[in-house]
């Protein structure tokens, strides 16, 4: 049989090698998750409107509602009162 030190070195080498192989796999998976999150952020930006665009559209809607309100006020002031 061989020296116990050689046997211990072999066991430690296998353990450290297995640990490093596992760490490499975990690192690859973390990088994949980071890439998927980055892609998701890009897709979310494509689907949803920016705050500035929404504010501009809301301003246009409010202007139209103000015009409609003015027209309704004019109609109601011209109606005969009973």
Residues 6-61: pLDDT tens digits?
A: 989 999 999 999 999 999 999 999 999 999 998 888 777 777 888 898 999 999 99
Phi, psi (5° rounding) for residue 39? -65, -40
The DSSP symbol for 81 reads P
pLDDT at 79: 82
Q: How confident is residue 63, by pLDDT bands cut at 50, 70 and 90?
A: very high
The distance from CA 56 to its chain's CA centroid, rounded to whole angstroms, is: 24
pLDDT at 2: 67
pLDDT at 43: 79
For 58-69, what is the mean pLDDT?
Answer: 96
The token duo for 69 is 């309100």
The distance from CA 31 to its chain's CA centroid, rounded to whole angstroms, is: 16
Q: Find the radius of gyration of the CA atoms of the chain.
A: 35
């Amino acid at each position: 049989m061989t020296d116990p030190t050689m046997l211990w070195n072999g066991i430690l080498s296998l353990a450290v090698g297995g640990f490093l192989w596992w760490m490499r796999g975990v690192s690859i998976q973390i990088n994949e998750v980071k890439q998927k999150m980055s892609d998701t952020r890009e897709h979310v930006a494509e689907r949803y409107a920016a705050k500035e665009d929404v504010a501009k559209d809301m301003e246009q809607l409010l202007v139209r509602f103000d015009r409609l309100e003015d027209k309704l006020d004019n109609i109601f002031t011209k109606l005969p009162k009973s």
